[in-house]
Amino acid sequence: MKTHALQGLEEITGWFTGYVRSYKNVRESDRRNVVLKEEHTFRVCEEILELGGELGLTSSALRLAAAAALLHDVGRFEQYARYKTFADEKSEDHARLSVETLRRHDVLRGFSDPDKTLIFRAIECHNRASLPPGEKEPALFFIKLLRDADKLDIWRVVTDYYRLKNGARNSAVELDLPDTPGFSEEVRADLVNERIVDIAHVRNLNDFKLLQIGWIFDINFPPTFRRVRERRYLETIRGVLPETDGIGAIFDGAMRRLLRECGLPA
């Protein structure tokens, strides 16, 4: 974590670190998954501050964005302790659990009521299938920013995992999905129509990887698109999918969207 990244948020950073520590006295395989989410959290803070800086946010707006990033996955730790999974559909909504935890511990007591409302709203919506309809500014902006920063690091986590797993599997990363052949027609239809994949349509690991490619249809800001292209996230995921015409066409559509948003010929 960059030393300057959370300046002005020392109190809640200290609370977060202590809170996560309380979940680490477990067997090593479970501890690794706790640390996975802790490290993800701090990287999302870095991503959101860098994106916000490029977008010209004021220091006070950056502070709100960083607070939302720092706290967005607090519910993950209790979720994993209770259910041994990060799959919301097999346990409970981790964003809602995050907000409940923050309210119970009064973590945002140093913020004004309007700022608390904004941070809670960004956290509540960061994992939804799509942006909440009718949402008003400034909450909508911060929801979009957190969703972009979160996806950037989840892409980093999964692509590193796909590159390095060497046959070893982590059910927490793979959401306990079976590694079976083929992919769902419903997933294909979602992506061909440039829609976010409905998690209810995801039946195996191929579907899950296609869902991750499809996140490109849910990105909001030019700096995010540039990072996706520079880091070659989509290409890496394509490299661990089967060589079939159906998947190739899905990937080509996602790349056209990425290149178009980067101002390049598709």
Asked, for residue 2, whether it belongs to a domain, the answer is no
Residue in the structure block whose two tokens are 């909001």: 220
User: Which pair of structure tokens corresponds to residue 230?
Assistant: 């520079």
| 1: pLDDT strictly greater than 80 | no
Asked, for residue 230, whether it belongs to a domain, the answer is yes
> How far is Cα 144 from Cα 9, in angstroms, rounded to an integer?
21
Reported confidence tier of residue 3, pLDDT bands at 50, 70, 90: very low
> How far is Cα 102 from Cα 63, in angstroms, rounded to an integer?
17
Task: Check whether residue 75 and residue 117 sit in a common domain.
Answer: yes
pLDDT digits (tens, 9 = 90+) for 198-246: 888 999 999 999 999 999 999 999 999 999 999 999 999 999 999 888 8
In degrees to the nearest 10, what's the CA dihedral of 127, 131, 132, 137?
110
Task: Check whether residue 138 and residue 189 sit in a common domain.
Answer: no
pLDDT value of residue 167: 65
| 157: pLDDT strictly greater than 70 | yes
More confident residue, 172 or 198: 198
Task: Check whether residue 195 and residue 123 sit in a common domain.
Answer: no
State the total domains in the chain: 2
> How far is Cα 30 from Cα 70, in angstroms, rounded to an integer?
21
Q: What percent of the chain has pLDDT over 90?
A: 83
Secondary structure of residue 193 in the 3-state scheme: coil
Burial class, 148, CB count within 10 angstroms (exposed 0-12 / middle 13-18 / buried 19+): buried
Task: Check whether residue 46 and residue 137 sit in a common domain.
Answer: yes
Handedness of CA 195, 199, 205, 208 (dihedral sign): positive
Over residues 12-38, the mean pLDDT reads: 96
Residue 54 CB partners (closer than 8 Å, separation 6+) = 223
Reported confidence tier of residue 2, pLDDT bands at 50, 70, 90: very low
pLDDT digits (tens, 9 = 90+) for 248-265: 999 999 999 999 999 998
Asked, for residue 1, whether it belongs to a domain, the answer is no
Task: Check whether residue 17 and residue 124 sit in a common domain.
Answer: yes
Asked, for residue 164, whether it belongs to a domain, the answer is no
**How many CA atoms does the CB half-sphere of 18 hold within 13 Å?**
8
Phi, psi dihedrals of residue 223, rounded to the nearest 5°: -60, -30
| 181: pLDDT strictly greater than 80 | yes
Residue 65 CB partners (closer than 8 Å, separation 6+) = 48, 49, 52, 57, 142, 145, 146
Domain extent at residue 114: 10-149
Task: Check whether residue 142 and residue 16 sit in a common domain.
Answer: yes
User: Which of 25-29's residues contact partners 24+ apart within 8 Å by CB, and which partners?
Assistant: 26/81
Reported confidence tier of residue 4, pLDDT bands at 50, 70, 90: very low
| 10: pLDDT strictly greater than 70 | yes
Over residues 173-186, the mean pLDDT reads: 90
Asked, for residue 170, whether it belongs to a domain, the answer is no
pLDDT value of residue 244: 86
Query: What secondary structure, in 3-state letters, does 15-73 show?
Result: HHHHHHHCCCCCCHHHHHHHHHHHHHHHHHHHHHHHHHHHCCCCHHHHHHHHHHHHHCC
Task: Check whether residue 126 and residue 74 sit in a common domain.
Answer: yes
Task: Check whether residue 123 and residue 207 sit in a common domain.
Answer: no
Helical H runs in 106-138?
113-125
- Omega within 30 of 0 (cis) for the link into 114: no
pLDDT value of residue 164: 81
pLDDT digits (tens, 9 = 90+) for 81-129: 999 999 999 999 999 999 999 999 999 999 999 999 999 999 999 999 8
Task: Check whether residue 101 and residue 142 sit in a common domain.
Answer: yes
pLDDT value of residue 173: 86
Asked, for residue 20, whether it belongs to a domain, the answer is yes
Mean pLDDT rounded to a whole number for the chain: 93
The pTM assigned to this predicted structure is 0.93
Task: Check whether residue 189 and residue 86 sit in a common domain.
Answer: no
User: Which pair of structure tokens corresponds to residue 157?
Assistant: 């986590």
